[in-house]
Amino acid sequence: MRLSWPDLQKKVLEAVKAAQSSHDLSIIRLSEPLAGPLKENFGERTSDVSASVFDNPTPASLEADLTHYKELFSKLRFSYLEQVTKEKFIRAIVGDPPMVVEHQENVELEKALAVSKASLKAQKTEVAELVEELEKRGRELCRKYENIKMQTAQLESLPETIEGLQASIGKLKESQQPGSNPTLNMPLEKTLALIEERKKERAKLDKQLEQLQLLVPRKTRELERLNAELQPLEVKRLGSTASAREAKRRKEEALGGVGDDLEERGRWWRGVESGLKGMLDIEG
C-alpha cells in the first residue's frame, strides 16, 4: 500500500523522535560508564577540585578535573620514584652483607631503562593520537547531531508550510480567470512540448538572422556603388533643370524669331529631363 506524502512525513518524523528519545546524548549520560566506578572506588574526594563534577559534569568541570589529575599523578610519580630510590639505597647500605653494584650492571640497567623509556614514549604517542582522533570524532558527531536537530525542527514545521502553500495555490487557481490565457491552463506535458516548439522556432529565427547579417556587408557595398553611379546623373539632372528654367525665362523675355529658337531648345531640354527622370525613377 502506497502512503500519501503527509502520512509518510508523519511516519518519518515519529521514527526520528523515537530514535532521539532512545539515545540521550548528554555529558551526564556519556560520563556514566567512567564516573560510576570512580564514585564507587574513591567515595568522598579530598582534592581541591569541585566535588560536584560526578553529580553534574560539564565540559569545563571535566577539563579542570582532568588537568588536576594530570598534575596530581605527576607529583605522585615523582614522590614514588624518590621514595623507592631512597628505600633501595638504604637497604643496600645497611644490608648484611652490603649490596655492591658493579659498573657493568649499571650499564645493563641503563640499556633496559632506555628500552623501557622508548616503549613508554611510543605508548604515550599512541595514546595522544588516539585522544586526538576521539576528540575529532566527537566534534564531528556533535556537528552531525546539531544538524539532525535542525533538520528535525524543519521537518516538524514542514506540514504547516505545505498547508500554507496548498492554500496559496488554491487561491491562485480561484483568482485566475478561465479562458483568459489558454496556455496557462495546459497540463505539464503539453506545456513542455510547447516550450520545446518555441525553442525550435527561436533557433530557426536565430539562424535566419545570422544569414541576413552575413548579407549586410554585400548589400552595403552594392548600395555604395549605386550611390556612386547616381551622383553624375543627379548632377546632369540639376544642370538640365537649370537650363530649362533659363530657357523659360528667355522665352518670356525674347522677341521675334529668337524666342522661337529658344522655345525649341527648351522643348528639347525638357524632353531630355523627362527621359532622365524616367530612367532614374525620379519624381520631379
pLDDT over 60 at 139, yes or no: yes
Q: Which of 56, 78, 95 is the last residue of a domain?
A: 95
Q: Is residue 240 part of a domain?
A: yes
Q: Is residue 212 part of a domain?
A: no
Range of the domain at 32: 17-95
Q: Is residue 179 part of a domain?
A: no
pLDDT over 50 at 49, yes or no: no
Q: Is residue 271 part of a domain?
A: yes
Q: Is residue 155 part of a domain?
A: no
pLDDT tens digits for range 154-198: 888 888 888 888 888 888 777 766 556 677 777 888 888 989 999
Q: Helices 257-280 and 188-253 meet at what angle, rounded to 10?
A: 170
Q: Is residue 196 part of a domain?
A: no
Contact in structure between 249 and 262 (CB atoms under 8 Å): no
Q: Which of 51, 76, 95 is the last residue of a domain?
A: 95
Q: Is residue 73 part of a domain?
A: yes
The Cα–Cα gap between 232 and 240 comes to 12
Q: How many domains does the chain have?
A: 2
Written as nine digits, the cell of 264 is 525649341
**Which of 19-23, 108-112, 142-146, 150-154 is the least confident region?**
19-23
Contact in structure between 262 and 244 (CB atoms under 8 Å): no
Nearest to 28 by CA among 58, 51, 50, 49: 58
pLDDT tens digits for range 98-121: 777 778 888 898 999 999 999 999
Q: Which of 69, 95, 121 is the last residue of a domain?
A: 95
Q: Is residue 54 part of a domain?
A: yes
Chain centroid to CA 108: how far?
65
The Cα–Cα gap between 91 and 82 comes to 14
The Cα–Cα gap between 187 and 193 comes to 10
Structure pTM?
Answer: 0.38
